[in-house]
Structure 1
Amino acid sequence: MSKLNTSMATPNQGEFMADTDFKNEFDHVEAVDDYITTQAGEANLLHQEIEALKRLSEEEYAAAHAKLVRKIDLRLLPVLFILLILNYLDRNALASARVQGLEKDLHLKGDQFNIAVSILFAGYILGQIPSNLILSRVRPSIYLSVWVALWGAVSACTAAADNYNHLLVIRFFLGVTESPYFPGALFLLSSWYTKKELAFRTSILYTGSLLSGAFSGLISAGIQKGLNGVSGLSSWRWMFILEGAVTVAAAIASAFILPDYPATTKWLSSREKAIAVYRLEKDAGVRDEETMTLFQSFKAAAMDYKLYLLAIIIITKTTAGAVTQFIPTVVATFGMSKVNTLLLTAPPYLFAAFLALTISYTSDRKPERCFHLLTPIVFGMVGFIIATTTTKTAPRYFSLFLMIGGMFGSYNVALAWISSTFARPRAKRAAAYATINSLGNVAQIWSPYLYKSTTAPSYHLAFTVNTVMAAVAVVFCVVLRWCLQRENARMDRLEVEEPDTERGHIAQDGIRYVL
């Protein structure tokens, strides 16, 4: 009897392991059940809050709505703005480094500098589409911040480059690590703002890229004057070290400040989440939820002809806009000192930033996209024509204001047009942003070769091609507007002619495109 009790009281090792495995499996199943229960509870709470919102008076809802938008504006826009400034500072620092002596220090010859510029975009294009598809399923606050820290670290490594091959490798991986941020930031904005709010918010974000052009010249001039030769390092090496370190610090801070999605942001109350979800649902006619697989979302975007019309507009604008990589080089043909050359690059970007905010504000108020986009492009085309016909300092410098203001003062309107054209579902919008931005940046691979050093100081080929690209962009703006107008008219007609049919219901529920 005692023997039996002993065997029962002390099971063998195999039985003990089996019991332990069973317990662990039971705990796992229990944890999954708890997670599912929690998710269902949160969804139910969100639904209840949305129903409660519908019972509020117009004044009560308007006050709560305005309070939420202010809260998101204060948390989301400043962080994305600062990170985009750093993104473009790190990306375009090579242009300033050239003036500071990078070509001489690394013994670059022929087209090697142009290749170093373009190879960044090879890496940049590769990462955008898969990154945005992943982003629609993870926490943006963490995901984007990690990539920001990585590109800051890679950019700082440029200071260690000793030769052309080192520079190529670093630039390629800088492109890879930078690729998630810009399309990801645009997608995150489109996940929080309505069609009438988006162009102006996008312009605030994109103004960061324009101000980076101004800051780049000012920062580079300061470093050239104060740090050149300190600790035996050239000023361009100090520039990469300092800008990279600041980027990493900003990435750490952004992880605690950025929101995720309207229904999942932890620092919003349940009522605020409901308002965020409800207002976007009212704007688009459907809730912005994840219902597609990665392949389905990419296929849905790729099968939509409007994606390719928008892509052509972005490609042609980006080709002409590649001049920003060579603004210091063009200004250097004026024959001034390094410091003065770098300082003169700032004013055209400041003008473009002011123009971008003004154009986007009026575009949202209308709302209207096509003519707010193509009119500045026409002025940019005039700038390219002036630059093609003269190398005199005054008209050449004036042409830079028209070029940068025209091509980039309205770029954010093009980005907002993407969002309003691919409003829902979330995954299709993410795929559209990434695909169009990737196709657009293909132009950044080959356009630097237009600015061969052998064509200086006129750069006649580059400015002629840019003129043609601007004209093509104008044509396709008009074509896209006509197509969207036709789509809107078709839905209006179906809604009137077949109100009780399935097609009629689809027309009633479908979005109307912003023209």
Structure 2
Amino acid sequence: MSFDNKHDIVGDDEKASQIKVEQADNRLAPAQAMSEEEFASVEKKLKRKLDLRLATMVWLIFVLNYLDRTQNNIAAAKVAGIAKSLHMDSTQYATSVAILFVGYVLMQIPSNVFLTQLRPSLYLPLVMAAWGVLSALTGIVHNAAGLYATRFFLGFVEAAFYPGALFLLSSWYTRSELGTRSAFLFSGSQLGSAFSGLIGAGIQNSLEGARGLEAWRWLFIIEGSITVFIALCAILVLPDWPSTTRWLNETERAVAEWRLIKDAGQVDEDDESWSYGFKAAFADWRLYGFAFIFTCIQVASATSNFFPTIVQTLGFNRVNTLLLTAPPYIVSLFISIGNNWSADRLRNSSFHIM
């Protein structure tokens, strides 16, 4: 390549960068021209829309995520007789629990890389529909191998949601708003865990033997079908990115972008590929600290995989056993939201984490 040609390419890159900056300036102009009172008024309406459509929808999806994943429905299914029906011993059951997390770990990081290049309003509901189908298919397996296969692929597609939802929330809410919304999102896991026991009790009481199927099969089929329906609704409700969401007007999109820029203290003008953020994350020592803490938490909370079985040892029948699994999750729901609300108010997350 000649020097002149290289100079032309550099010049083209600079022109392209300049065009992007000008386009960003044009998008932000409506927000920058507002008075403080006007900006606050539009921002309030914007947050109301986001709380109603984004925060509420990802919360509902997360409830269903926990209904469909290993810790809850398969734990309830064990009480309802899945191990006996599939002629599984304790080792095979534990393997069916663990194998979901193989797919889960493999897909979480690649999924968020994909998400940066796609429309969240399509990507997240589509993976949700996929795990709903897989959950329903679990209700028709006839041996341990079939259960292993469905659980592995269930983890593979479910992995996209939680990190993707946090990423999407952080693309819309400021730092002082994100803690409470994140806690609200995570409360979906507690409610999903609680409902799993309640739904399991209802199905065990009402559908055992219906159409020749055991109650545990109905548990997977019903919960999976509900998930697919909600996924189709989510396509119409979820936003994309602040500059591309269609159900916001031009002024609201400008305010959404500008308030995040002000919160960050700088304009994000980097035109780097996804690898830039990937490398920056792995260069931050705090990432490893939080990863270690989270690993410890997950090890400690692994008892949820066997919680209904543990409660069953108290001597209650199947329905009451499943009902008794709900209260601890309801308590933790309120504690988690209250803790993060306090962290946002006091702007001190570290103390609240400890």
TM-score scaled to structure 1, two decimals?
A: 0.63
- Structure with higher RCO (Cα < 8 A, 6+ apart): 2
Instruction: Report the AA paired with residue 71 of structure 1.
Output: K
After TM superposition, list the pairs within 5 Å mapping 1:361-510 onto structure 2. Answer: 361-374=341-354
Partner of residue 274, structure 1: 254
Q: How does 1:201-216 map to 2 (within 5 A)?
A: 201-216=181-196
Offset at residue 138 of structure 1 (A): 1.1
- 2:303 maps to 1:284: no
Kindly indicate whether residue 29 of structure 2 is the aligned counterpart of residue 47 of structure 1.
no
Mapping of 1:326-345 within 5 angstroms? 326-345=306-325
- Tell whether the 8 Å contact from 2:116 to 2:274 is kept in structure 1 after alignment: no
Matched residues in 2 for 1:337 and 1:219: separation? 15
1:19-98 equivalences under 5 Å are 44=22, 47-48=25-26, 50-91=28-69, 92-98=72-78
Maintained 8 Å contact 2:80/2:204: yes
Contact 1:128 1:180 in 2 (8 A): yes
**Aligned match for 1:148, one of 119, 128, 131:** 128
Query: Who is 2:143 aligned against?
Result: 163
CA distance in structure 1 between the aligned counterparts of 2:261 and 2:314, rounded to whole angstroms: 54
Q: What CA deviation, in whole Å up to 9, does each residue of 1:210-247 have, x standing for no partner?
A: 00111001100000000010001000100100111111
What residue number does 1:306 align with?
Answer: 286
The answer for the alignment partner of 2:227 in structure 1 is: 247
Q: CA deviation at 1:54?
A: 3.1
Paired residue type of 1:276 = A
Q: Structure 1 CA distance, aligned partners of 2:125 and 2:269?
A: 23
Q: Distance in 2 between matches of 1:136 and 1:185?
A: 12
Tell me, what secondary structure is at the counterpart of 1:161?
A: coil
Equivalent pairs, count: 336
SS in 1 for 2:245: coil
1:510 aligns to what?
none
* Structure 1 segment 204-243 matched on structure 2, within 5 A: 204-243=184-223
What's the offset of the Cα at 1:337? 0.6
Unmatched 5+ stretches in structure 1:
1-36, 375-515
Given that 1:149 and 1:248 are in contact with CA atoms closer than 8 Å, whether structure 2 keeps it comes out as: yes
Query: 1:46 Cα shift?
Result: 5.1
Letter in 2 for 1:278: W
Name whichever of 155-164 and 279-288 sits farther off.
279-288
CA distance in 1, matches of 2:119, 2:268: 15
- Give, in whole Å, the separation in 2 of the partners of 1:131 and 1:319: 24
- Structure 1 Cα separation of the partners of residues 270 and 232 of structure 2: 28
* Residues 288 and 246 of structure 1: CA distance in aligned 2, closer, same or farther (over 3 Å): farther
Conserved 8 A contact 2:80-2:215: yes
Matched AA of 1:183 = P
* Corresponding residue SS for 2:173: coil
C-alpha distance in structure 2 between counterparts of 1:295 and 1:279, whole Å: 26
Contact 2:30–2:254 at 8 Å: present in 1 too? no
- Kindly indicate whether the alpha-carbon contact (under 8 Å) linking 1:280 and 1:288 is maintained by their aligned counterparts in 2: no
- In structure 1, give the amino acid aligned to 2:253: K
Which SS does the other structure have where 1:99 is aligned?
A: helix
Q: 1:101 aligns with which of 81, 84, 89?
A: 81
Task: Say which SS state the counterpart of residue 336 (structure 1) adopts.
Answer: coil
C-alpha separation in 1, matches of 2:192 and 2:269 = 34
Contact 1:46 1:273 in 2 (8 A): no
In percent, how many aligned pairs have the same letter?
A: 46
C-alpha contact 1:46 1:270 (8 A) present in aligned 2: no
Partner SS for 1:160: coil
Partner of 1:480: none
1:331 Cα deviation after fit: 0.9
Q: CA deviation at 1:298?
A: 2.0
Q: Assess if the C-alpha contact under 8 Å between 1:106 and 1:162 holds in 2.
A: yes
Three-state SS of the structure 2 residue aligned to 1:292 is: coil
User: Could you tell me the TM-score, scaled by structure 2's length?
Assistant: 0.91
Runs of 4+ in 1 over 6 A off after TM superposition: none
Larger Rg: 1
For residues 191 and 295 of structure 2, the distance between their equivalents in structure 1, rounded to whole angstroms, comes to 22
Match for residue 163 of structure 2?
Answer: 183
Q: Taking structure 1 as reference, are residues 299 and 216 closer, same or farther at Cα in structure 2, changes over 3 Å only?
A: same
CA separation of 1:233 and 1:287: change in aligned 2, threshold 3 A = farther
